[in-house]
Structure formats: C-alpha cells, structure tokens
Amino acid sequence: TVVAEKINFWRFISHFRMVHRGSFFAQLKTTTVRKLLPESWGFLCPVHTPDGSPCGLLNHLAHKCKIATKSVDTKAIPGLISQLGVTEVPSASVEDSVVVMLDGRILGFCSPQQARVIGDTLRYWKVEGTHGVPAELEIGYIPNSNGGQYPGLYMFSQAARMYRPVKYLPLEKEDFVGPFEQPFMSIACTEPEIISGDSTHVEFDPTNILSILANQTPFSDFNQSPRNMYQCQMGKQTMGTPGTALKYRTDNKSYRLQTGQTPVVRPPLYNEYGLDNFPNGTNACVAVISYTGYDMDDAMIINKSAHERGFGHGTVYKTKKIDLAEDNGGRRGRGGNVKKLFGFAPGGLVRAQWRATLDDDGLIAVGMKVKEGDIIAASHTVTKDPITGEYVNRDGITHLHKYKEHEEAFVEEIKMLGTDTGGDEPCQMLSIRLRIPRSPVIGDKFSSRHGQKGVCSQKWPAMDMPFSESGIQPDVIINPHAFPSRMTIGMFVESLAGKAGCLHGVAQDSTPFKFKDKAGETAVEYFGHQLKRAGFNYYGNEPMYSGITGQELGADIYMGVVYYQRLRHMVNDKFQVRTTGPVTALTGQPIKGRAKGGGIRVGEMERDSLIAHGTAFLLQDRLMNCSDYQKAWICRGCGSFLSAQPTVNQYGHRKGVNASNVRCRRCSTKATGSEQRSDTWEDGRGDKFVGGSDVTVVAVPGVLRYLDVELAAMGVKMKFDITP
C-alpha cells in the first residue's frame, strides 16, 4: 500500500503514475529485473526511478502513456478479417499458415504475407476511423524468425493495457500503439530519422518517453543521467504547494512555500498541466564564484537581504487533536458516556494566567503564539443528572491541556468535531491547526532543478556581497567546483536562458532535445544573441566587484537566473542535542532516538579519526565520560570487578561503602575463629572471612562491566591490570 502524500503537488500526481514491480524482486541478487527493456520505450520513463534499493523496480509511466480502462467493441473484426482472406482451416506447415487471434481467441489462419497485409489494412481503417475498427485496438504482426515470439497476427482489445499515441505516416494522424506490437514496428524518433519505405510511424515529440516530472527538468539532455534521476526525487521532496484546498485540510503535517514563483525557464508541459497553480520554488540570481570559505562542499551562501525579502520562506502546518473520550480510557458509545466537557469548571477556581490565553469557552484564541508548556485548552469532569438530563460538574476542578512541542507555533484554526454517530452529544473532540513559520536557517537544504543540492551555509550581509556593474547582487552564491565532476551543463544553459528571459520579459522554452550540435543553432548561440541584444555579455559572464574592498574581482563571474527549490529537510526537524537524559538500564548508555531525548553514537570511524588526531582525552570524554561513566570497586590482587563486595555489620546491615568496608571474596579466606575481631568481616550470610582488603575504586564504562558479567556467564574470566 502506498499512501498518496501531499508534500507537494508533484509528489501527489507521481503516486498515480507509479508502477511497482513487486517487493519480492527487491530481495533478488540479480540486476536483470531492474533493467529497462526496449519494449518499455514510451511506456515507462527511463529517468524517473529512485536511486537505491527500489531502483528499476519502482517506475513511472511516460506522460503520454494511457491505461485502457474498459474493453472496446470488436464485433466487426471477425467479419472484416474473413473478407480479407482469413480461413478457418490451417495449412500443413507453419511457413504457409499463421494464426490470427483476438484476445486469445483463434479467429482463423492465413499465410504470413496475408497476415502482414491484413495487419496494415486494419491499422489503416483503425486510424481512419472506418469499418468499425476501434482506435484502441492493438494489432501486432509477428513475422517468422529463428526465435522469439510465435509468428501470427495478434489483436488485443481488453482493459488494463498500456497504449500511447504516435503519428501514422500514411494518414498523418494519431495512432495508438501498445507494448506488444511496438517491438515489431518501425517508429522514427524525429522527422529527419524517417526511412522512406520502412518507417510507418514517427514520434510526435522525443520527450514523450519521459514522465511528467522528468519533463520538468530544463534542458535535461545536457545533464549527466544520474543528475536527472536525482532531480525527479528531489522535486517530490520540495517544500512547495500541496494543493489549493490547503486551508481546509487537516493533515498531521504539511509544508507550504509562501513565496513561490513561476519559473522563467520552463517547458510547455508546465503550462499544459497547470503547475503554476502549485509553485515549487523561486527564481534566484545565482553567481558561480568561490567567495569566502562558506561555499565549500556543496554549501551555498544566501544573500541576507534576499532572505529578508522572503526568499525560500515556508510554513509547516501541524494538526493536534484533543479527544476527551480517549482521556476517559476508551472510545465513546452511542450517547450517555460523556464524562468530560471543554471549558472551565462552573464555580471552580479560574486563574488569571489561564484567562490570558484561553477564551470563555476554555479554548485558546486563534492567532495566539504558543510555546512548550502553554495551555491550549481546558476541560472539566461531568456527570449526567438523571432528572434534568443536563451534564453537571461536582468537583469544581479544571483540567488543563498543554502544548508539548519544543518549537513555537501560532494557532491557525480550531475545529470542534462532532461524534461518529452524528447525535446531539456535546463536543468531545478538538482539532487545533498550528502554523510554524520556517524561514531558511543555516543547514537547510536547497536544490536547483538539475540535482545540484546543497545546504545554506551562511546568510551573508548584502553590503559584503559581490555586485556587478549594474549593481545587481546575487541571491545565491555557489562554488564552481560543483560542476566539473557532475557535468550538469543544463544548469549553465538554464542560467543563460533565465537571464535572457528576465531581460526581455519572456518565458523561455526548456524542452529537451530542442537544440542540435550538428546542424542549426546551438543553445549558447540562441540565448547568447538574446543577452547581447540586451547589452550583456554573450556568454553570461559579468565583471564583479568585491563587496568588502570595492575592487574588481580578477575574473569575470558567471551569473544568471536559476529556479531554486527549498527541500523539506530542515535543521529544526533533525537537530539532536543532549546533555543528560534517559539511559538504558542494562548498560547505562544513553538511549537512542531524537524524540525520546536520546544521544548519537560515536561510531568506529569517528573513533579512528580521534585516534589519528591524537586526541586521547577527547576520545575518553566521548566514549566514557559523556556516555556510561561509572565508578566500580576492583580487586588489585585478582583484577576482577565481580568478586568485590561490601561487608555487613553484626545485624546484617550493609556498612558504608568505602575502602575499609569493601572486600574481595576471591582473595579472602574463611576465618578460623582465632583471628582478632577487627580483622574479620561478614558477607551477609553469616560467614566470616579474613583478608581481601586490597581493593580500590576505578572509573570504567558501564558496558565494560556488562561485558565482564556476560563473559563470566559463559565461563570466560577477565582480569584487569590496574597497576599505575
């Protein structure tokens, strides 16, 4: 089961175009099931598949691919093929006779030459729309061959088939083809590739092989293939616009980009699907420059003024439910089971600090700011008066419901929910919608539409940002080292196109496969001429000046307009910090889990780094002092933690735990009765011993003592040397 998440609209529509091979195949060691086979051309997108374990198993339909939802009328087919020469009696040899089938039912037999002619004739009538041949009928002619499919003419008309449109050359009209017939047809990708006398069809557009999301990547034919795959994933993680009905939805958590814009550089499909109603990012002025050290390793510097103007500003909406019936220990039945009501207890104590945030109905006011521990609702216990039928409070005590999240929020909306039965019971459930503003902070994740992801490393003051001769300061600075190994040339082209589009006030077409290197105008020439007409450098470079010294920088800087997406991965949702907190009872180490206030382990590789740097005390601090530091008694003689035990007095009570009252059971001997009383000690069972006083206290990790006990249970003794 896949839940249709509404993180943004791109993710939502992708769920309905998804094809999963099955969880069984994810466990297979072979990669054969993950490969993209030739017959899936135009039906499954070659780009839109996740990286990682579901790669090749979780696919998406190409944007022109359709699914047949019902069977089509094929009553005319048997009569037509009889007129075209199909007989009911086959010939003796396969070379002279092949089968003609419709949806697995044998209609007759004919020669291979006849089968080809019949298939072509039926296709002509199908595209023409005559003789009652349905447009969705799949007609697959399989010729004789040394291997592969059994030869014949196979037709399919039932539901649950994939089909897609291509141009039928004899009539210059749309023809629907299916995955069964496609491998045996000659379909040209573009008009120049049509082979006279061989090609019967041509693609309407080369981009028909891509999914809806893969088509949104601008100039994807300029990029390295994995980057286009990454963008398909990151486009679905973007903090965008989940839907137009966001105001009325009560999702547990939803994201919204408040300052969304339409991209300057976009394909025609963007408008065709109406994606302007669900903006997913912001047009940013991006400079490619190594400026300060804060742009290393995919980090990006954001102009503080752009941030203050709203660049990337988003909101998280959370819904909190308060159910009084659940507080009673179970679900309510059909009336008569109401034990609590919202509001202050009549005649009870109402403090002024409660009234500061709560209205007369005991609910927090809409628009109030709440922080951890603030009161958001009040309720009181009631019983139903059998005479009047009214609910009466008898104890005068008001119960408070508090906000438990760490992050401050604003109350956006309060809904009073009715009962499951629809009766006239009093309100027992509240839905409180909270609004949490999320402006970009250091560590938040951003991405262009080319798989170039990075985190905000610094919000740089505008006065210190580099500026161009026209006074333009970039909104975003990224490092030039992000490009050579990733080869995302499409981002360079988008930067050129976006800059030219802004200068001329036009939207630029970013459809892939539009520019050819061999003939015609290249992308650089097309957009370079536009920039030149606007008075800018042909290649998009500009001289820039240091915002700190005012001097011209030693090289021209590549600057343009790129559409940037803010991803939902934010520091405020992921940061984990702890001083002290809950620990596991067994080892004394901190528990794991951010929600429970747990810690993060220093792993094997971190240990290696600390050793390599020679920071021994830091290593001890991480692995013991801040983890499971314990003091334990140990015997110097036998080197064991397990044999040290406290002594007891004559009444069987344990004495104070200090060096004079702890002894080693292993190193001691049983008292004979001739020893002085001061030299003997009792173990709590009435036995007296002498010696074993050479014990001391050492600081050890708690898990070491646990290991000692585990090994002792298996008959393995550990001896520790504690000599200084």
The whole-angstrom separation of Cα 160 and Cα 441 is 48
pLDDT at position 653: 65
Nearest to 84 by CA among 123, 115, 125: 115
- Show the beta-strand stretches assigned E in 354-442: 369-370, 375-381, 383-384, 391-392, 399-402, 409-417, 429-438
Distances (CA, A) of 15 to 4, 7, 55: 6, 12, 16
Distances (CA, A) of 466 to 481, 535, 653: 19, 20, 77
Q: Is the pLDDT of residue 152 over 50?
A: yes
Nearest to 231 by CA among 10, 434, 5, 492: 10
The whole-angstrom separation of Cα 470 and Cα 675 is 100
Counting DSSP H helices and E strands in the chain, the numbers are: 15, 39
The whole-angstrom separation of Cα 667 and Cα 222 is 78
Of 26-30, 165-169, 292-296, 361-365, which one has max mean pLDDT?
165-169
pLDDT at position 328: 60
The whole-angstrom separation of Cα 69 and Cα 136 is 11
Q: How confident is the model at residue 503 (pLDDT cuts 50, 70, 90)?
A: very high
Q: Among 270-284, 439-453, 652-666, where is mean pLDDT lowest?
A: 652-666
Helix (H) or strand (E) holding 645: strand 644-646
pLDDT at position 384: 83
Tell me which residue has tokens 């606007």.
Answer: 534
The pair of three-digit structure tokens given for residue 80, joined into one six-digit string: 């037509």
- Contact yes or no for 513/540 (Cβ under 8 A): no
pLDDT at position 214: 95
Nearest to 60 by CA among 72, 50, 75, 71: 50
pLDDT at position 687: 82
The whole-angstrom separation of Cα 537 and Cα 553 is 16
- Contact yes or no for 98/77 (Cβ under 8 A): no
pLDDT at position 501: 95
Count of CB atoms within 10 A of residue 294's CB? 16
pLDDT at position 419: 73
The whole-angstrom separation of Cα 500 and Cα 561 is 9
Q: Is the pLDDT of residue 267 over 50?
A: yes
- Rounded average pLDDT over 476-499: 94
* DSSP characters over 430-484: EEEEEEEEE---TT-EEEETTS-EEEEEEEE-GGGS-EETT----SEEE-GGGST
User: What ranges in 299-445 are assigned the alpha helix state H?
Assistant: 304-308, 324-327, 352-355
Q: Is the pLDDT of residue 518 over 70?
A: no
- Contact yes or no for 12/242 (Cβ under 8 A): yes
HSE on the CB side for 181, CA within 13 Å?
Answer: 27
Buried b (16+ CB within 10 A) or exposed e, 232-259: bbbbbbbbbbbbeeeeeeebeebbbbee
Distances (CA, A) of 647 to 214, 512, 527, 668, 697: 75, 84, 89, 12, 16
By three-state DSSP, how is residue 364 classified?
A: strand
The whole-angstrom separation of Cα 77 and Cα 98 is 17
Across the beta sheet with 429-438, what order do the strands follow? Answer: 253-257, 314-323, 429-438, 409-417, 369-370
**Could you give the domains of the chain?**
67-203 (3.90.1070.20), 216-313+439-575 (2.40.270.10), 315-438 (2.40.50.150), 576-625 (3.90.1800.10), 629-713 (3.90.1800.10)
Q: Among 158-172, 505-519, 618-632, where is mean pLDDT lowest?
A: 505-519
Q: How confident is the model at residue 369 (pLDDT cuts 50, 70, 90)?
A: very high
The 10s digit of each residue's pLDDT in 206-225 is: 999 999 999 999 999 999 99
Buried b (16+ CB within 10 A) or exposed e, 364-380: beeeeebeeebbbbbbb
The 10s digit of each residue's pLDDT in 411-462 is: 999 998 887 776 677 888 899 999 999 999 999 999 999 999 999 999 999 9
Nearest to 572 by CA among 443, 692, 400, 660: 443
The whole-angstrom separation of Cα 479 and Cα 473 is 16
The whole-angstrom separation of Cα 634 and Cα 659 is 11
Q: Is the pLDDT of residue 335 over 60?
A: no
Q: How confident is the model at residue 18 (pLDDT cuts 50, 70, 90)?
A: very high
Buried b (16+ CB within 10 A) or exposed e, 701-717: bbbbbeebeeeeeeeee
Q: Is the pLDDT of residue 658 over 90?
A: no
pLDDT at position 640: 92
The 10s digit of each residue's pLDDT in 36-84 is: 998 899 999 999 999 888 999 999 999 999 999 999 999 999 999 999 9
By three-state DSSP, how is residue 25 classified?
A: helix
Q: How confident is the model at residue 35 (pLDDT cuts 50, 70, 90)?
A: very high
Q: Is the pLDDT of residue 604 over 80?
A: yes
631 contact partners, CB below 8 Å, separation of at least 6: 697, 698, 699, 700
Nearest to 140 by CA among 97, 87, 82, 179: 179
The pair of three-digit structure tokens given for residue 50, joined into one six-digit string: 């996740």
Distances (CA, A) of 638 to 368, 642, 644, 720: 66, 10, 10, 8
130 contact partners, CB below 8 Å, separation of at least 6: none
The pair of three-digit structure tokens given for residue 25, joined into one six-digit string: 């195949």
Q: How confident is the model at residue 334 (pLDDT cuts 50, 70, 90)?
A: very low
How high does pLDDT run on average in the chain? Answer: 90
Question: What percentage of residues in the chain have a pLDDT greater than 90?
Answer: 69
Nearest to 240 by CA among 260, 262, 216, 212: 260
Q: Is the pLDDT of residue 646 over 90?
A: no
- Contact yes or no for 571/506 (Cβ under 8 A): no
* DSSP characters over 49-115: S-SSTTTTTEEEB-TT-EE--SPPP-TTHHHHHHHTT-BSS--SSTTT-EEEEETTEEEEEE-HHHH
Tell me which residue has tokens 């343009």.
Answer: 560
Cβ-based burial of 530 (10 A; exposed 0-12, middle 13-18, buried ≥19): buried
pLDDT at position 95: 73
Q: Is the pLDDT of residue 337 over 90?
A: no
